[in-house]
Amino acid sequence: GGQDPNALKIEAKRRRYTMDLSGRAHIRVAGLGFRAGGILTDADSHHLRFENLKGQYLGHSYVNDISHQATVLIRGHHVELNGCELAYASGSLLRMEGHDNRLINCFLHDGDYAGKWNGVASFSGRRQLISHNTIRDSGRDVCSVHGLMESLIQYNDLSHAGWLTSDLGMTYGHDTDFMGTVIRYNWVHDNLAHGHTAGIYFDHCSHNAIVHHNVVWNVPGMPLQVNNPAYFMLCYNNTLWRSGGISTFDHSHRNEMFGCRFQNNISAQPFRLPAHVVTQPNLIDPNPGLAGPDQRRFELSSTSPARGRGVPLPGIAEGTAGSPPDLGACPPPWRAGHDFQNPPEVRWDVPEAAFSNAIRNAAFELGTLECWTASGAGKAEIGKGNGWGNGFGRGAAEKTGTSKHELQLTGKVRVEQAIENLHRDTKYQLSGWLKVTDERSPVTLGVSGYGGPDATVSCADKGWQRKTVDFTTGAGVTRITVFIERTSATGQAFADNLGLPRNPPGP
């Protein structure tokens, strides 16, 4: 201040992007700095690597959300950002779409300073790997995960959300079948908002995510929030320190969390969830015997009451030498965040988690019949869903929400999906939401090939109804088929939100 502007160098931005690699492939960009512009790719961009870049002031507008049209946009496949620093934008610094992309060992900070809908980073698409990053300082959320499927978020340090707004999470997503997305081994801390603060936040109609071994602290509201309807959301072995309790919310008070489990967690405050949610065992204690949480030492002290209190969960927490596993996130030592001096070795190693949904595209949110096979003279197609279905701003509530898509069957038609890697001699339960247009023409949900006659249940209701089918696999059976079928030539039927939890072996 106080200087003559005529004596200063004044620069004006002329371009939205500093690099346009739309339609390009097999290119490595390394060691560059860029300012006042972003990087553009498109759906045809693939096998690109951005390494050790530093980008600043990537995009700005207080009027519009620039997250979809400026900054760093990754829209293709097999694109990797590694060892990069991105800073300063009014919207998202990075938007990752497409499939099979990677964000590794990067430092993203001071994004979304206009407090727009998207976070510092916005992730959607399939099979994305977000690992060993530090993402911090946002006007709103740190990470947006709407539309993220079959992905892995691990070893990230996510912090300091809510500088400008309220009612937000450090991570936030809704209306998404996460299709087995795993969020594990992350530090999630310091939500600064003045109202309704959350840590890992799944809003209405979030399904099939697995959240385990995360440490959440300094979140005055809910450290893990799963609003309903929500199906087969699994929250295991998390340490929730210096944070609030855990409940759920729905405008129409449906309290629909079928198949959800909160187990082996350490929480400072109680859980207040519907009775059908599995919430044992957990330790509720504001002083659970952590080694030194103020120094980010979240492992258990030798006298912690969380030692040996867990239940074995295959793929998550097995225990050792015949002893039950500990509660909480830190039996083995691990750290989160980027380290430019010592780049991490990153692996995608995700075992099947206990009670995870074995059905793929179970909510038809891929917008196609992928993973399903249709047969018969009738038609199987994807119809428009009812969103949250909770009557918020749209009329009467329905019993479930079907988000963007639901299955629509017309005439005599059957859709089926083969399920593999089940356990022999084990009890299972198939479930799904069904309805019909004509009560004289029911629809059937069933399972075949399990070692007995087809196990089925029918629905002839015009409103959504959840139906279940119980069965036990035979001595040599590890593969079965689930199906939805109409045998009438008239009327239509609809299905959504199917589930078949992978139970541990045993009767």
262 and 390 inside one domain:
no
Domain that holds residue 204: 17-300
Cα–Cα nearest to 353, from 223, 183, 174, 216: 183
| pLDDT value of position 164 | 92
Q: Would you say 281 and 257 are in contact if contact means Cβ atoms under 8 Å apart?
A: no
For the chain, how many structural domains are there in total? Answer: 2
290 and 430 inside one domain:
no
291 and 382 inside one domain:
no
Q: Which of 239, 271, 300 is the last residue in one of the domains?
A: 300
22 and 118 inside one domain:
yes
83 and 222 inside one domain:
yes
- Residue pLDDT tens, the chain, 507 long: 688 888 888 777 777 899 999 999 999 999 999 999 999 999 999 999 999 999 999 988 776 776 677 699 999 999 999 999 999 998 899 999 999 999 999 999 999 998 888 899 999 999 999 999 999 999 999 999 999 999 999 999 999 999 999 999 999 999 999 999 999 999 999 999 998 999 999 999 999 999 999 999 999 999 999 999 999 999 999 999 999 999 999 988 999 999 999 999 999 999 999 999 999 999 999 999 999 999 999 999 999 999 999 999 999 998 887 899 999 998 777 899 999 999 999 999 999 999 999 999 999 999 999 999 999 999 999 999 998 888 776 668 899 999 999 999 999 999 999 999 999 999 999 999 999 999 999 999 999 999 999 999 999 999 999 999 999 999 999 999 999 999 999 999 999 999 999 999 877
Query: What CA–CA distance (Å, rounded) separates 364 from 372?
Result: 10
Q: Which of 239, 267, 300 is the last residue in one of the domains?
A: 300
Which pairing describes strands 134-138 and 443-448: parallel, antiparallel, or unpaired?
unpaired
**Domain CATH code at residue 37:** 2.160.20
129 and 255 inside one domain:
yes
Q: Which of 252, 273, 300 is the last residue in one of the domains?
A: 300
Q: How many residues does the chain have?
A: 507
- Judge whether 245 lies within some domain: yes
| pLDDT value of position 394 | 67
- Judge whether 439 lies within some domain: yes
| pLDDT value of position 389 | 87
52 and 137 inside one domain:
yes
267 and 389 inside one domain:
no
| pLDDT value of position 392 | 75
295 and 382 inside one domain:
no
- Judge whether 247 lies within some domain: yes
- Judge whether 506 lies within some domain: no
DSSP string, 307-376: TT----BTTTB--BTTBPPPSSS-SS----S--SSSPPP-----PPPTT-B--TTTT-TTSS-TT-EEES
**Domain CATH code at residue 393:** 2.60.120.260
291 and 412 inside one domain:
no
- Judge whether 329 lies within some domain: no
- Judge whether 187 lies within some domain: yes
| pLDDT value of position 5 | 82
286 and 384 inside one domain:
no
- Judge whether 338 lies within some domain: no
- Judge whether 336 lies within some domain: no
168 and 271 inside one domain:
yes
Query: What CA–CA distance (Å, rounded) separates 141 from 336?
Result: 19
Query: What CA–CA distance (Å, rounded) separates 141 from 117?
Result: 8
